[in-house]
Chain A
Amino acid sequence: MLAKRIIPCLDVKDGKVVKGINFIDIKEVGDPVQCAIEYNRQGADEITFLDITATHEGRGTMIDVVRRTAQNVFVPLCVGGGIRTIDDFRDILRAGADKVSVNSAAVHNPELIREAADKFGSQCVVVAIDAKRDGKGSFHVVINGGRIDTGIDAVEWAQRVYKLGAGEILLTSMDTDGTKNGFDIELTDTISNMLDIPVIASGGCGCLEHFSDVFEKTQASAALAASLFHYGELTVEQVKQHLAKHAIPVRKIKA
């Protein structure tokens, strides 16, 4: 039976792991390669790096982080953050990543999704959608780390990126992100029900029950969390044991 995936996310700046609450206050902690190795040991089904570096030098460092991780960790590796062009895709994939996630650049240039899917295959094109309630019962796509409301309807955008060739959707709720009150069930349910491609739920996870909740109440294929794992509040192993008790299929690994 297909297992629900648990994906730890590491925010990386200038080659170091950081974790921002609501994408703003940033403090530095740790080596991303060592963190990825530890998550792999805990049974992570996939690892995501989000590159929040702004400088060119920082980007080069990120490629090196990806390369060193791919030499030591043999589960799928997804890299996002600042991807703008087909060349960015190529550089990240060549460094050993399996998937690339695009966010703002896809909004500015939706054709990038189609081009990347044609060139590298849909399996490596993850479209990250940051969504926020508009107060009138809909969700809007926000970009630039939540700072700009594009006014685009998130449901329509998800359908569009699917048609353009996205292989998966990484769906982050800006309303729940950083709150630790649980995943955004309404948003995740709406988008995951509507699309054939997998949806990764992200934003707001604070305890074990939130993981079982999102899988019991939505069609999400995977759940992503950052600070929870990063600060050692929970291990991937604990999450999987909890899900197994709820009869949710997970990949068990033997040490």
Chain B
Amino acid sequence: MIAIIDYGAGNLFSVKNALNYIGFESCFTKDADELRKADKLILPGVGAFPDAMKMLNASGLVPTIKEQALKKPLLGICLGMQILFEKGYEFYECEGLGLIEGSVKKIESCGLKIPHIGWNDLTALTPCPLMNDVPEQSYVYFDHSFCAETADEHIAAYTTYGQRVPALVMSGMVYGAQYHPEKSGNVGLTMLKNFCTL
């Protein structure tokens, strides 16, 4: 069973639809026991970094998520990926979950439109099981204004939007996708399948 953490932020339905489609059972939960029992965890999220952290802290699930992330695979998606880092700088400096070293900052616009919305291509950097069977320069769907700053060893794949934008990050059993795998067609479904079969 894959537990999709329901802390009040994000489009949970799309993630569940995608998991159903590729044949993996999942549930929405805000219950610490269910997180402990689940095989894998997914942390979704849309909106702003401080709001998501506020909701996550209010849910009381933070200690359980931190403890379980050492025992089983966890995948953060979009804002759910951003809050895996130590700090975010959206509106003001805010503590994240600290599961991956690094921070989250506004994308330098360089005259480009912000948010970075749409399909952009991936370049693999550090080997990662989630990239299995994903062809080089595959396109995935992004929708964000902030991006992670972290060491290369944590970056499985990046895209380019004025600057290098970490797209798929990892540390131990913790993975984070800045894009939406559940909205990235067959490429995204392949990555979700790779996660589900870790």
State the A residues within 8 Å of B (CB): 1-5, 40, 45, 70-72, 74-76, 93-96, 98, 120-124, 167-168, 195-198, 219, 221-222, 251-254
Given known pairs A96-B14, A198-B113, the reply for A74 and B118 (CB within 8 Å) is no
Interface string of B91-107 (1 = CB under 8 A from A): 00000000000000000
Question: Does A122 contact B120, Cβ atoms closer than 8 Å?
Answer: no
Shortest C-beta distance, A236 to chain B (Å), equals 12
Per DSSP, are chain A's interface residues mostly helix, strand or loop, or mixed? loop
Output the residue of B14, B48, B109, B189 with the most chain A CB within 10 A. Answer: B14
A1 to B119 alpha-carbon distance, docked (Å): 8
Question: Does B135 contact A74, Cβ atoms closer than 8 Å?
Answer: no
Shortest C-beta distance, B145 to chain A (Å), equals 9
Shortest C-beta distance, A100 to chain B (Å), equals 12
Question: Does B117 contact A123, Cβ atoms closer than 8 Å?
Answer: yes
A44 to B127 alpha-carbon distance, docked (Å): 30
Partner of B189, one of A45, A74, A195, A222: A74
Interface string of B118-161 (1 = CB under 8 A from A): 11110000000000000100010101000000000000000011
Task: Report if B64 contacts A (CB, 8 A).
Answer: no
Partner of A96, one of B13, B47, B116, B121: B13
Which A residues are CB-close (under 8 A) to B21?
71-72, 74
Question: Does A98 contact B183, Cβ atoms closer than 8 Å?
Answer: yes
Q: Kindly identify, within residues 43 to 62 of chain B, every residue whose CB is under 8 Å from any CB belonging to chain A.
A: 46-48
Question: Does B115 contact A76, Cβ atoms closer than 8 Å?
Answer: no
Interface string of B13-44 (1 = CB under 8 A from A): 11001101100000000000000000000000
